[in-house]
Amino acid sequence: MSDGKSIDRGAIWKRFGSPTEQFGSVNDPRGQEECGVTWNEKWLYRDPEGSGNDRLVLWNRYDLLGVFTLKPDGSVEPESLSE
């Protein structure tokens, strides 16, 4: 999760690069529920090694809700963003 720190979109982009896929947008009024949070924008980073451990970055407008590892079995695990 975000560990209580204010992390902006630019910092996430710099850390992980361009997402493989993006769903919703910062101004999308529709909320989706996933990983226990309601988001309106999701960045998906497909695992470049093909092992199936993809990364999800969930946003509610400009607020980071969390970063999660999506496992091949469909389960999710929150990632810590601490250095």
Phi, psi of 11 (to 5 degrees): -65, -40
Global confidence as pTM:
0.87
Structure tokens at 31: 């909320």
**CA–CA distance, 42 with 23 (Å, rounded to integer):** 5
For the chain, the C-alpha Rg in angstroms (whole number) is 12
- Residue type present at position 22: Q
Mean pLDDT by 10 residues, the chain (83 residues): 67 95 92 94 93 94 95 94 71
pLDDT of the residue at 52: 84
**Residues contacting residue 24 through CB under 8 Å, at least 6 positions apart:** 30, 32, 39, 40, 41, 42
